[in-house]
Structure 1
């Protein structure tokens, strides 16, 4: 199969995305450690901060195996940050949900991410809105 070569602008954007993602993960993991969490635990907690979610959906969002999510939720439960609930629509499905302490920890963790907020603060509201809209467009309808 012949590979199509990226044009210089697209190649630069791809490289910049890589740098942003690497820097974000590095800071995210460091901030999570400050709360006694691994980066994976913090990412699950951030997802649960938006509301209860089936374990399989968490795995899909994190691009990992459901068994990994089970272990992560177990550890979050042990710390009092998450709990399992039966899905009211289908009692066979277990939802993971943040506890009040979990919501508080997720909010404090997000506030601790200087890198995530610092560069964005230099953009106007209009620029941040445009960036958000472009990223949503790139990611498609599941970009929640």
Structure 2
């Protein structure tokens, strides 16, 4: 009985009994980009409260950070996105094409690896890669 209780308690803590997949450490630790930063000579998405450019954006995100991503993909990769700040299907598809051109995993999600691989709008014009 004690083992069954321990197993149930462990599954509730991990979310298994409720059908909730637990977040990986990286997913839990990486916030959603919600603003724009001047970083290493370019305008890049950032998480404002944490003052970091190590952030993620996925389909459904809506923020100035998405609008900046859309602008950079239009400027640097020849996309024709409406710069509305809404990470919808068109933005996801454009990001996949951008990721392929940039040589990184083409998963349609923006994060630190995509930030480092892709070109961003430079502060003084043009397109540059940032660390």
Structure 1 length-normalised TM: 0.28
Structure 2 length-normalised TM: 0.30
Higher helix proportion (structure 1 or 2): 1
